[in-house]
Amino acid sequence: MSNYLVAMEAAWLVRDVEDIDDAIGVAVSEAGKRLNEKDKEYVEVEVGATPCPACGEPFDSAFIAANTALVGLLLEIKIFNADGEKHASRIAKSEVGGALRDVPLDVIDIREFESDEDA
C-alpha cells in the first residue's frame, strides 16, 4: 500500500462576471465552499495554468465570453494506503466528485510520496 498526491483539473463555470480576477476568485471560493460543506477541507484548490500556444509561458486558466467564465481549477488531494495509481485516482475522483457534483474532473498527475510515519 502506497500514498499518493493526486492532482485533478476541474472545469468551473461562473456566470455574470466581467473580469478574469473576479471569475477566478468566485470559482475558487465556490469550489472551496462546496468542499468544506462536505468536510473535504483537506482538498487544495487553486486556479490552474494553461501554457500559451505561442510562447509556452503559463497563464491562468480562465476565459470570459458573454459575461460567463470558464475557469480551470487545480485540485490536489493526498490519498493514503492505495493499491496503486489507478486505485488512488479512483479514490480521489470519488472523494472530490461527491462534493462537486456536475463538475467535470480529470486526473492530470499522480505522484507517490512517503508519509511522515514511513520515514
Residue 116 pLDDT = 66
Please tell me the pTM assigned to this model: 0.88
CATH number of the domain residue 96 falls in: 3.30.70
Q: Of all residues in the chain, what percent carry a pLDDT higher than 90?
A: 81
Within a domain: 95: yes
Establish if 117 belongs to a structural domain.
no
Q: Is residue 119 part of a domain?
A: no
CB burial class (10 A; 0-12, 13-18, 19+) of residue 98? exposed
Q: What is the pLDDT of residues 21-58, one digit of tens each?
A: 999 999 999 999 999 999 999 999 999 998 888 888 98
81 occurs within a structural domain: yes
The boundaries of the domain holding residue 53 are 1-111
Is residue 66, in this structure, part of any structural domain at all?
yes
pLDDT in tens, 3-18: 999 999 999 999 999 9
44 assigned to some structural domain: yes
CB 85 within 8 A of CB 4: yes
Is the confidence at residue 64, as pLDDT, over 90? Answer: yes
pLDDT in tens, 69-115: 999 999 999 999 999 999 999 999 999 999 998 999 999 999 999 87
Per DSSP, 39 falls in state T
Give how many domains the chain has, as a whole number. 1
